[in-house]
């Protein structure tokens, strides 16, 4: 496969950098392929709930308020993960 690289040693440098990145990120990565809006609402709620359970805030957080256009998607994500 021709990568379009002309200078000698460039491939070595690229491979070396890739290996560094792989070593840095050896732990498994989970990709969330859902709406960033919905995922953000869930993460925000979980952060607040954790703070409440650890005594950092005194009020139990309400469930997230989700805009109408995202409610069906939000429900699917919650049902799938929880």
| pLDDT at residue 4, rounded to an integer | 77
51: tokens are 């703070």
Is residue 69 predicted with pLDDT exceeding 80? yes
- Is residue 69 a contact partner of residue 26, using CB atoms and an 8 Å limit? no
E runs forming strands in the chain: none
- Is residue 13 a contact partner of residue 49, using CB atoms and an 8 Å limit? no
pTM for the whole structure: 0.59
> Which whole number is the average pLDDT over 30-48?
86
Is residue 62 predicted with pLDDT exceeding 90? yes
Distance of alpha carbon 6 from its chain centroid, rounded? 37
Q: Phi and psi (nearest 5°) for 39? A: -60, -40
- Is residue 44 a contact partner of residue 64, using CB atoms and an 8 Å limit? yes
């Amino acid at each position: 496969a021709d990568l379009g690289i002309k200078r000698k040693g460039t491939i070595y440098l690229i491979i070396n950098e890739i290996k560094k990145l792989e070593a840095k990120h050896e732990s498994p990565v989970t990709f969330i392929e859902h709406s960033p809006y919905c995922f953000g609402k869930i993460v925000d709620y979980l952060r607040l709930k954790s703070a409440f359970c650890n005594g950092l805030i005194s009020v139990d957080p309400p469930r997230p308020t989700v805009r109408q256009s995202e409610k069906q998607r939000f429900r699917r994500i919650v049902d799938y993960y929880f």
